[in-house]
Amino acid sequence: MTVASASRLTLFDLDNTLLAGDSDYEWGQFLVDRGVLERDEYEAQNQAFYEQYKAGVLDIHEYLGFALGPLARHTPEDLARWHADFMDTRIRPMMAAPARALVRRHLEAGDLCAVITATNSFVTAPIAREFGIPHLLATEPEQVDGLFTGKVAGTPCFREGKIVRLHQWLGGLGHALADFEASTFYSDSLNDLPLLSIVTHPVAVDPDDTLAAEAATRGWPAISLR
């Protein structure tokens, strides 16, 4: 089924939804373990930002200034080499069989499928490809002449920003959300309540406490992919 003829839209959050872990957090820890980043300072900041994210109080622009900085300080060749090792050692072990099966089921049904994630596209594009998901909506790191600047380009794909980015992407395909007979979004996080609230089939996946309570109140299904 082509994009033009797909009647169902399926969106997947990535971290702690399809993945049994957080790729953004793990990328930072991977760089620490490789000796690329100084352990004590970076680990403390990385953990603090992760706790803010889980609590729903993260300042996304402050965080991105922290998270995108390492991309700007290293060559594309080094980054690509490190990411290949990161995929082998950190990401593939977090790609559980139930998550792979869920994605495969939606793809085989002919749904228009996309990953929609706050984590930047450098980290997540290879992960989306590994799942076989053809489209990725992610926070975009700014590049100039093929090099990362450490800044963000456009709207961060976070909270209400996911809705902005979704509408932009669908518009570029000649679609609107209302065009689809069914729209499904799988997520674990309270931060995704804005997008969960506008699709026809919101699904809580191994949800945090806030999302679990909201899903129960609204009658949304909850599943586990662990």
Active site residue 209: no
Which tens digit of pLDDT belongs to each residue from 73-125?
A: 999 999 999 999 999 999 999 999 999 999 999 999 999 999 999 999 999 99
CA atoms within 13 A on the CB side of 167: 8
> Looking at residue 90, what DSSP letter applies?
I
| The domain over range 8-223 is classified in CATH as 3.40.50.1000 | yes
- The b-or-e profile of 30-55 (16+ CB within 10 A means b, else e) is bbbeeebbeeeebeeebeebbeebbe
Which of 158, 67, 86 is closest to 116 using CA atoms? 158
Residue 3 has pLDDT above 80, yes or no: no
The residues spanned by each domain of the chain are: 8-223
Rounded to a whole number of angstroms, the distance between the first and last alpha carbons of the chain is 30
Please state, in angstroms and rounded to a whole number, the distance separating the CA atoms of residues 49 and 52: 5
Active site residue 22: no
Which residue in the list 15, 22, 24, 188 is annotated as catalytic? 15
List the helix and strand counts (H, then E) for the chain.
10, 7
User: Mean pLDDT score of the chain, rounded to an integer?
Assistant: 95
3-state helix, strand, coil in the chain (%, to 5): 55, 20, 25
Please state, in angstroms and rounded to a whole number, the distance separating the CA atoms of residues 150 and 21: 24
Using a cut of 0.75, tell me whether the model's pTM lies above it.
Answer: yes
Which tens digit of pLDDT belongs to each residue from 24-78?
A: 999 999 999 999 999 988 889 989 999 999 899 999 999 999 999 999 999 999 9
